[in-house]
Structure 1
């Protein structure tokens, strides 16, 4: 039995690792503006690829504009294509965008490619989320889902390393290897059994399930296959497919049912909480720091060059993502989020004090691209001894670690935990849209509130957001770690309280799922 479990774990892990290649490629594309901005802002004003301040703000944020559009279309495109094929096709536009960067001669070429990567980043949402959920066993699902954030961080780190050693066009050329390799590797993993069953491709579903459970004979997965068929029938019933097929009222009933569910207290409370978590994930400060990292590190007098410091922040982000898997399991999601926000509040507050005392009132990039004259006092204040200059560098790195450890992953954890079965797909798309819209607003307006509040004031603003978020979450965020789906749904429906501590009892995921399904079925009927 242990051998079968080991092989089953290996097969599911390999499938998810291949899927995560898509996220690595997305992470590389998502952080590419961080590499672009320093080089393009330093070019001669007569160069067609020179960027002014407005251009820089668009380069840093335009890839977020079309992500919500991609999110809307993600489920529509994924359903007929299948999860695996959708993941494959996503790599084609990524590949084309990397080529576009390499051959670009005008700024609009770069902006167009960034917009496309954002749109495709939205398209990835449904296949990425559903693939893991539909191929993994309950005992592995939580860990395998947690690898998504780590994979994106790994992609960001890889792109930062390329930007450190290569000119941005060569970095783009090297980056196209990832979508090409991912496209080919996805041929080696199966489609999800659930999708195959939904398309009545039953033999292929059996083969897929046998592959995912350790390359075993089909007979050994017969019991799980029967449960899969039963769950598929229940899902079709819940979605309103088994309703008067002849008179077409099933579609209308399904839509009316969705609207009713979105008006329920459970959905409104869960949606509000997840959207607030999205706000905190950006406005705690980590998003603009990530995009404008090179200039921010340089402005703070980093003891190492801006590109090297950015590589360090990428490595730290990935380590934080890995540690979060263990930390959440030991401390719970609620306490981990509090520690994360406390960390960002302290670090950005300290950075505000440091920049204020050293008369660092603006970023270097703002001075380089404006006609403001740098006075001698502020000029001299940017020359630090090596012992002092390590303070802002290490503090900012600690802030990145704190954010990536908890608050940055909270929105995605809530999407998978707090919404009921029937509405989860729609809720995931809506929350993802909100996440990237807020991200666009945060990054696009960064220079505006840096100019308005000064650099110390901006850091204090990030700190204040973190403090306010910690206080609000203390009262509204329940502890979901160790709780069943049924218990979580009951909490947001107002029928029970989850409490503020972890539930360490050995409650099976299958039991919780069955309770949840029975609840949904009773409410539907």
Structure 2
């Protein structure tokens, strides 16, 4: 006899969850591929929103270069240029504040759908903009909307995927943003910036259409007592499976989202206490420090001011073409990180990344000093600085640019994971916006050579500090990571003894999802 699970509806009456009324005694076998395909589709639709956000981050790279031409379409001052490079990033933390509550109230899917509309409006405003204030409004709107996307994109991928697919599919988030940035570098090398804004309308429209075809998160639906819809969503996500196939997983979903008021009060108290413990403070310091290196280590400003930098470094090829190569290097580096991290672990990949980034920025600084004092012939070695800068972009995206986002999703205890990740994400965008805002002032004060030397120093010093602070979390369960920060065990090397099957069973019975109103993406 099939055991029935009784769950209360909104009016307090009892409902038998649909899948538990299935009288079938035989579970139909569903292939792993069939299970994976709908999850990949759902995450891919979500990633289109991140591609759209990436286009807003990459657009200033081309736009700033156009504004610094002799006869720009829009007359701007140097101060306004620094704001154009950073205002979108300054607005992201503000959007993060409202992201969790809106996602919790409207749902993951609906929030992502609605987020496409401000992006469309921003591109239209930019296309017709003739003054700097209009540009500020449009770019500020993209940043605010990017912040609003934070909660639903991370929560959605975590709630629709199975444990053995979750890590890989989560890692595609950063890749999607980088792809969005690259589209701007490529498009900018082929056409003018106003035409780019019209082309960029395609991405949110495509994302909106794709998301319409995807199901809502089964966790959110069950949390709203829409159990029938939640079961249908879960069945869709598990390969359009029958109710009997998702019975056990659906039980877990219902158990997670149904708490009595007393339990909720106890959870809130323990959650606040968790913010005072070492298991929060130590990983928080680590994550914030890695975000600091990622922003002030040069990779952020190199991406934003690529055209300007290549022009001043006298690249032997067209500066826009050089920027395209930079974007390709970022994509290859990101892809290598996604593939290699499971084999090498985070520590080895991080130290390789940060050492390579520092070396290439140091080499660029030395080259500029030698050129300044006429110690080498610039014409004979003009290819060197371009190679150095592309190398710096590659190594940065191979590890240190992605590491803090990965850490933010796994190093915090379950009780504070959402809120802590949200705080880290907000601080990261503040760091990036400040780094972009002060770049031109740094160049004015100590030239490109001194600026590159500063970036190299940040990377080298950061590498030394991370050698002592960074644990090896790859291949470890969330419980093992929490035990590390509690002082119960030490994570120095990549785990090799754990079996994948046991980890997946642990992940199913100990999900890292918390029904908090403050959430973020990696």
TM-score between both structures, scaled by the size of structure 1: 0.89
Match in the other structure for 2:21: none
Match in the other structure for 1:424: 417
Distance 1:342 1:190 in 2: 43
Q: How does 1:380-395 map to 2 (within 5 A)?
A: 384-385=378-379, 388-395=381-388
Q: Which deviations, in whole Å up to 9, do the C-alpha atoms of 1:119-169 show, x marking residues without a partner?
A: 111111110100100000011011000111111111111111111111101
The answer to whether residue 311 in structure 2 is matched with residue 294 in structure 1 is no
Match in the other structure for 1:141: 166
Q: How does 1:427-438 map to 2 (within 5 A)?
A: 427-438=420-431
Q: 348, 361, 369: which is aligned to 1:348? A: 361
Structure 1 residue 255: Cα displacement: 4.8
Q: Is contact 1:486-1:513 (8 Å) kept?
A: no
Match in the other structure for 2:64: 37
Structure 1 residue 48: Cα displacement: 7.4
Distance 1:426 1:503 in 2: 31
Distance 1:57 1:157, change over 3 A: same
The answer to whether residue 211 in structure 2 is matched with residue 210 in structure 1 is no
Structure 1 residue 52: Cα displacement: 2.3
Q: Is contact 1:42-1:50 (8 Å) kept?
A: no
Distance 1:517 1:194 in 2: 12
Match in the other structure for 1:91: 116
Q: How does 1:237-316 map to 2 (within 5 A)?
A: 242-243=261-262, 255-316=268-329
Q: 39, 53, 59: which is aligned to 1:12? A: 39
The answer to whether residue 136 in structure 2 is matched with residue 123 in structure 1 is no
Match in the other structure for 1:513: 507
Q: 238, 243, 250: which is aligned to 1:225? A: 250
Match in the other structure for 1:76: 101
Q: Is contact 1:420-1:489 (8 Å) kept?
A: yes
Match in the other structure for 1:100: 125
Distance 1:39 1:316 in 2: 23
Match in the other structure for 1:152: 177
Q: Which deviations, in whole Å up to 9, do the C-alpha atoms of 1:231-275 show, x marking residues without a partner?
A: 333xx4xxxx5318xxxxx66x65543331111111000111100
Structure 1 residue 513: Cα displacement: 3.5
Q: Is contact 1:43-1:49 (8 Å) kept?
A: no
Deviates more, 1:151-160 or 1:2-11: 2-11
Q: SS in structure 2 opposite 1:243? A: helix
Distance 2:73 2:390 in 1: 35
Distance 1:165 1:95 in 2: 22
Match in the other structure for 1:339: 352
Distance 1:68 1:41 in 2: 28
Match in the other structure for 1:462: 455
Structure 1 residue 501: Cα displacement: 3.5
The answer to whether residue 522 in structure 2 is matched with residue 497 in structure 1 is no
Match in the other structure for 1:55: 80
Match in the other structure for 2:220: 195
Q: Which deviations, in whole Å up to 9, do the C-alpha atoms of 1:95-136 show, x marking residues without a partner?
A: 000000111111111111001101111111110100100000
Q: Is contact 1:483-1:503 (8 Å) kept?
A: no
Q: SS in structure 2 opposite 1:388? A: coil
Structure 1, gaps ≥5 residues long: 245-249, 361-376, 521-525
Q: Which deviations, in whole Å up to 9, do the C-alpha atoms of 1:36-77 show, x marking residues without a partner?
A: 111112144xx7712222111111111111111111110011
Q: 419, 434, 445: which is aligned to 1:441? A: 434
Q: Is contact 2:221-2:230 (8 Å) kept?
A: yes
Distance 1:114 1:330 in 2: 39
Q: Which deviations, in whole Å up to 9, do the C-alpha atoms of 1:334-365 show, x marking residues without a partner?
A: 111111100011100100100110019xxxxx
Match in the other structure for 1:366: none
Q: SS in structure 2 opposite 1:417? A: coil
Distance 1:465 1:227, change over 3 A: same
Match in the other structure for 1:408: 401
Structure 1 residue 495: Cα displacement: 2.1
Q: Is contact 1:43-1:50 (8 Å) kept?
A: no
Structure 1 residue 517: Cα displacement: 6.8
Q: SS in structure 1 opposite 2:381? A: helix
The answer to whether residue 386 in structure 2 is matched with residue 399 in structure 1 is no
Instruction: Give RMSD over aligned pairs.
Output: 2.1
Q: Is contact 1:67-1:119 (8 Å) kept?
A: yes
Structure 1 residue 283: Cα displacement: 1.2
TM-score between both structures, scaled by the size of structure 2: 0.89
Structure 1 residue 310: Cα displacement: 1.0
Q: Is contact 1:340-1:403 (8 Å) kept?
A: yes
Structure 1 residue 2: Cα displacement: 8.4
Count of residues in correspondence between the two structures: 485
Structure 1 residue 206: Cα displacement: 0.8
Distance 1:61 1:129 in 2: 24
Q: Is contact 1:65-1:437 (8 Å) kept?
A: yes
